Amino acid sequence: MRAPAEGKLRMAATFLATLGIAVAAYIAIAEADGGAPACLTGGGGCETVAASSHSELAGINVALLGVFGYVLLLGAALLRGDVARMAGFGLALIGFGYSVYLTYLELFVIDAICQWCVASAVLMTALFAVNVTRMLTYVGT
């Protein structure tokens, strides 16, 4: 099986990063005044997660860090060459790892699930897969 063309991988990464920016920006805006994103499925998980001490890192809202990370991933997707491929991989690795950590906190520490956080984790996982494929297939070519 052949890997997708790099242009298709870049398009997929661009689409996923743009969606990630939208999701993270929504979370950040909803939490800006001490609120929480609306839980479409009910249950109050989003409010519980937003109110937890884990919703900030060094005093910065985690969702704002997400927006920043997705913007950097978008930039890496729009650029060509090995530096962009490696940057996309490194950024996606960090984002994926942090998403795994936050999901662990939701499941085992906070004891609540925020559907918007899950959506962001899914997007970051897909971005990681796309960037790994892009790096392994096209670095050095």
CA atoms within 13 A on the CB side of 13: 35
- State pTM to two decimals: 0.94
What is the helix (H) or strand (E) element at residue 19, kind and residue range? helix 6-31
Q: What is the pLDDT of residues 47-65, one digit of tens each?
A: 889 889 998 899 899 999 9
Residue 24 to residue 116: CA distance in whole angstroms: 8
Per the CB < 8 A criterion, the answer to whether 28 and 67 are in contact is: yes
- What's the pLDDT at 62? 94
Per the CB < 8 A criterion, the answer to whether 53 and 71 are in contact is: no
Q: Which of 70, 77, 86, 72 is nearest to 132 (CA)?
A: 86
- What's the pLDDT at 140? 83
Which residues, given as ranges, of the chain have pLDDT below 70? none
